[in-house]
Chains A and B, each alone.
Chain A
Amino acid sequence: MKICCLVKEVPDAAVQKRIDSGTKRLDRSGEKNLNPFDTHGIEAAMQIREGDVAEVDEIVAVTMGPESAVRALHKAVALGADRSVHLTDETLAGSDVCATGYALAKVLESEQPDLVLLGQQSDDGECYTIGAVVADHLKMPSLTQVIKIDVADGKLTCERQAEYGYDTVEVELPAVISVGDAINEPRYPSLKAIMGAKKKALSTHATSDVGIESDQVGESGSKTQVLAINPPPEKQPGEIVEDEDTNETVEKIVAWLDERKLL
C-alpha cells in the first residue's frame, strides 16, 4: 500500500498574518512552518504502517508551493515520510481552491497512491475543502474531518462528527481522507530523523512534468477573484486582566458579574 500525505507550508502561528493590498494575496513572507493539521495526517500514515493489518510500502509527502516549501517537506520526512514530491512553478502562484485542487490531483496522479491523507484544514486559509476537490478529480471516494481510521481488507472504517452526531463510514481504497486533530498525537521527530531528512529523496516537478494545463492554474486559471479587502466590523475591545493575585482577580470577576446582574 502506498500512502501520499499532502502537506502545506503555512506562516508560523505566532507571526502576524496580513494580506498584501497590491496583489490581494496572503503575504506569505516571514517564518514558516508545516501546517500543524498535516502532521496528524503523517502520524495517521505512520500508525497504519506500524499496525499489523496493512503492509505500507511507502509514505510520500507531497506539497505545492514556492521554493521555501521544501522545509515543510523536510519536516514531513523527519516525521516519518520516506520521500517527498515538490510541485513548484511560477505559473501556480495565486491559484484559488479550484486551481490548487486540480494541480494537486495531477501531481498525485503521477504517484498512483492507494490512500491520500491530509489535515482537515490549513492554519492560514482554506477550510475543509481541498481533500474533497482532489478526490473528485482523482475519482476516488473521500471523507473529511475523520477522527478514527481502521484499515482492513482494502477498506477503511472511518469515524467523524457531522451535523447530527458521530458517523461511521466504510470507504473503499483508493481514497482521499482528511483528518481532524483529535485522530492522534503526532510524535516528535528524533534528532537523527531531523538530521537525516535532507538526505531523503525529493523530486521536484514543474507543472508540465505532471500534465497540468497552465491555463487552469495560477491567478489567470482561478475561478474566484478577490475584489476588495476591508477591516472587520468594529467591535469594542473587551477588558483584559492579567492574573497576578488570584484573590484580586476573582474579586474583579465577581464585581463584573454582579454589575451585569448575573449573580
Chain B
Amino acid sequence: MAGILVYALHDDEGNFNKNSLGAISEASKLASELSSEAAAVVVGDVADDACAGLGAYGAKRVFRAKGASEGLAQPIVDVMAKVIADEGFTYALFGGGLLGFEIGAGLTARLNAGVTMEVTEVKVQDGKLVAVRPVLQDSAVVDVGYVGEPGIIIGRLNAFDTNEVDGASADVVDVDVDLSEWSTKARMITRGEQRGADVNIEDAEILVGGGRGLGEKDNFKLAEDLADALGGAVAATRAVVDAGWYPYAAQIGQTGKTVAPKLYLAAGISGAIQHKVGMQNSESILAINKDPNAPIFEFCDLGVVGDLHKILPKLTEAVKAKKGG
C-alpha cells in the first residue's frame, strides 16, 4: 500500500522534535487525501509509550529500530530504506532541521529517488504529492512533482503545524536492520553540547538580534544596551554563535530557536533563509544593515540602510529618553 513515512527526531531524553511532530501531522492529513497511511520511524531505545504517542499526531504505525542510534544520518538511511522497501511507502517526509536534510539526501542516492528540499507546502494533485518550494531567496515558488517512487520531501523549518488528536495511539513495530559498512564509520563523541551561557530568548516580547554586521564580539554590547532600554533580550545568528561571539542558547533559525516576538530588531543581519525561518513570524521586524541589497530588506517592516555603530548608541539614548519622559 502507498503511504508516507516520516522520520521522528528526538533528543537524548526521548523527547520528539516539534518539527518532526508537525511533519507527522502533515503526513496524516495528506495520507487521508491519498487514502493511505502515515507512519513514523524512530531510532534508538525509545519507550513503547512515547512511540505509541506519535499516534496522537496521526501516525498509524511507528517503526522502531533499537539497533540504530539517533543523531547521525547514515544508520537512519539504512533503517528508512529498509522500511520503505519492505512496506512499500511511496513518500518519505522530513520536518525542518539538519538531520532531515542528510537522511533525505542519503535516501535519494540509496533509492534512486527524487528529492525536494526547503519545502513549505505539500499538495495532492492527481493522486500524487507535489512539493512547493520557494527558490532564489524566496523570489519565486516552484511546484515539484516526482517521477517514479518513492518521492522524498524535506520541509523547511516550521513549515508544518502540529495537530494533536486526543487518545489516538500508534502500533509500535520493532525492526531489525543490518547497518551498511560505511554507516558504522562515523561515531558520535558528544551530542548536543551547549556553548555559552544559558539565556532565555523565547519569552521576550522584544528581541534585538545581532549578526556579523556588528563587526566583533565586543560590539554585542551595543545590542545589549538597546535591548535593556527596550526591555527586551538579545538574540543572535548562527554565524556569530559559531564564531563564539554569543551563546548558542540565543541563536535563532534552522538549528536554533524559533521566535515570534512583538518586535524583532535585526542589527547587522543579512536575513539568510536559515535565519529568516526562525523569526519571520515576528509581529514587527525592524532591520538595520549597511548593505542595501541584504535580503532582510525584502521582508522587514522598517528597514534602515546605515551604519549600526552610529545608529544603535543614539537609538538607545533616544529610547531611554522617550521612556523616561
- Does B bind A? yes
The segment out of A59-67, A79-87, A109-117, A246-254 that lies at the interface is A246-254
Given contacts A139-B180, A165-B194, A169-B72, contact A133 B108 (CB under 8 A): yes
Closest to B273 in A: A127
- In the complex, which residues of chain B have a beta carbon less than 8 angstroms from the beta carbon of A98? 108-109, 112-115
A38-74 CB contacts (< 8 Å) to partner B: none
Docked complex Cα distance between A232 and B273 (Å): 14
Whether, in the assembled complex, B106 has its beta carbon less than 8 Å from a beta carbon of chain A, the answer is: yes
A253:B286 contact, CB within 8 angstroms: yes
Q: How large is the interface on A (under 10, 10 to 19, 20 to 34, 35 or more residues)?
A: 35 or more
Candidates B97, B110, B141, B263; contact of A231 at CB < 8 Å: B141
**Chain B: minimal CB distance from A176 (Å):** 10
Judge whether B306 and A249 touch: CB under 8 Å: yes
Q: Knowing A97-B108, A172-B185, A262-B262, say if A166 contacts B114 (CB, 8 Å).
A: no
Interface size on B, residues (CB 8 A): 98
**Contact yes or no, B255 A162, CB < 8 A:** yes
Q: Are A17 and B136 in contact (CB under 8 A)?
A: yes
Asked if B263 contacts A262 (CB within 8 A), the reply is: yes
Question: Which residues 284-318 of B have a CB within 8 angstroms of A?
Answer: 284-286, 292-293, 297-307, 310-311, 314-315, 318
- Hey, what's the 0/1 contact readout for B100-111 against A, CB within 8 Å counting as 1? 011111101110
Selected interface stretch from B26-34, B50-58, B142-150, B162-170: B142-150
Q: What residues of A have a CB within 8 angstroms of the CB of B242 in the complex?
A: 147, 161, 180, 182
Q: Smallest distance from the beta carbon of B71 to chain A beta carbons, Å?
A: 7
Q: Is the CB of B243 within 8 A of A240?
A: no
Minimum C-beta distance from B231 to chain A (A): 9
**Residue interface mask A154-178, B partner, CB < 8 A = 1:** 0001001111111111111001000
Measured between beta carbons, the chain A residues less than 8 angstroms from B104 are 129
Most buried by A among B112, B193, B243, B304: B304
CB distance from B245 to the nearest CB of A (A): 11
CA distance A136 to B81 in the complex (A): 12
Q: Which residues in A have some Cβ–Cβ distance to B below 8 Å?
A: 14, 17-19, 24, 26, 96-98, 101-102, 105, 124-137, 139-145, 147, 157, 160-172, 175, 180-182, 216, 222-233, 235, 237-243, 246-247, 249-251, 253-254, 256-258, 260, 262-263
> Which B residues are closer than 8 A to A by beta carbons?
9, 11-12, 17, 71-74, 77, 97-99, 101-106, 108-110, 112-118, 125, 130, 134-148, 151, 154, 180-183, 185-195, 206, 230, 238-239, 241-243, 248, 255, 262-263, 273, 284-286, 292-293, 297-307, 310-311, 314-315, 318-319, 322-323
8 sampled A-B residue pairs with Cβ under 8 A: A17-B137, A19-B135, A102-B109, A135-B182, A164-B192, A226-B142, A227-B142, A239-B301
